[in-house]
Amino acid sequence: MKNDRGFALVLSLMLLLMVTLLTLGAMNTSVLDIKIGSNDLISKKAFYVAEAGWNEFSARFKTGEITDSAPANTDWKIFLAANVQRAEGIGYNLSNPNHRYIQTVQDQLDYSVEVKHLVENFTVATKAGYPIYVATSHGWYGEGRKTVEVTLNRSPGLDPPSALYSKTSIFVKGSSTFVDGKDYCGMQNKPGIITTTDTIAISGSPVIDGLPPQIINSTVDLPLAEYVSYLKDYANHTYTYIGNRTLTGMDWGSLTGGGRTTDPLRPTGDANVVYFNMNAVNTIKLAGGSHGEGILLVNGNLEVNGGFAWYGIVIATGALTFTGGGEKNITGGVLAGNMTSVEVDLAGNVSILYCSQAFRYLRNRVPALRIAHWRKL
């Protein structure tokens, strides 16, 4: 009996020890899980803070509050942070003339952002004529720190430099033709016609107005092929033809206004992006009252024949020709890569009217910046 009681005591002690060890193990595991969970939460919050950093830069860049003062400078950098000390922690140097410190607009999140140009072969890399930006955003939360890097492409300028822009000669004919750079929607007057050549040939008695009415031999050399290549990614109407093509009565959005030749058009809906791939050398002819609102892109030549109405911008990499009768009204602006001919018969009217509101309208369709690459560091 004594042996049995002794054995039972030993067994009880062993069981108690096992329970104690299991309890301690469970407690340690729980503590470890809590620590892991806490660290994971801190890490996630630091990541979201870093994301907020580059998004502040993007938002303020889109509104023009933050600008690029030296687009060709390979050493240009801006530092967005709550204070100079935070900016210095990621490389800001007050004595470096290429560095610029910008204070954040909030004080709840702890982040610092370095923005620089992407440099390739000792030159600022560009897309559609604008620098490519690299934003490195550091976020802190508690003891956690996360860093993300975002490569951003800037959208081509959707605000044309004039009512009518051409990279080659311009021919304007007729007595019912109006090309006006005066702002029909605001106070941002621009030239009526800009060409990079020395030729603006006029016959008849067209009206060309603006501030100034016309500029020849302009140094404004817009990369229209790159513009079209970039903007076509936003197209919701795409057409590809291997030869010349005529389309009649096309409808890409309803418009109001334009009752008289010099009355601006107004959109009634969201902007469309219409892209014609004419393989650079072929011609798309729009006839029979075609109309729309948004951005009309042509990789090739564009002929507008008969009635036509468009609110927004028209970009053709090749030649642009207006022919035939009917009312033609483009409110916004026109950009052409090759010879531009505005020629109408006695029964037709043509008006190309600059409108600053068109730029703001189109920005709702095409953002100022687009993410090209994103990664965690």
0.75 surpassed by pTM: yes
CA 225, 226, 227, 233: dihedral to nearest 10 degrees? 110
User: Tens of pLDDT along 207-244?
Assistant: 999 999 999 999 999 999 999 999 999 999 999 999 99
Distance in angstroms (rounded) separating the CA atoms of residues 59 and 39 = 30
The single-letter code of the amino acid at 187 is M
pLDDT value for 182: 96
The whole-number pLDDT of residue 2 equals 47
Report residue 241 as tokens. 């033809």
* Res 37 pLDDT > 60: no
Q: Over 50: is that where the pLDDT of 66 sits?
A: yes
Say if residues 326 and 307 touch (Cβ distance below 8 Å): yes
Q: Which residue has the higher pLDDT, 314 or 6?
A: 314
Burial class of residue 172, CB neighbours in 10 A (0-12, 13-18, 19+): buried
pLDDT at 247 over 80: yes
Q: How far is CA 302 from CA 50, 76, 244, 338, 375, in A?
A: 46, 40, 10, 10, 41
The DSSP 8-state label assigned to residue 271 in this structure reads: P
Q: How far apart are CA 292 and CA 270, in angstroms?
A: 10
pLDDT tens, position by position, 318-363: 999 888 778 889 999 999 987 666 554 444 588 999 999 999 899 9
164 in Cβ contact with 330 (< 8 Å): no
Position 34 pLDDT exceeds 50: no
Structure tokens at 200: 């603006």
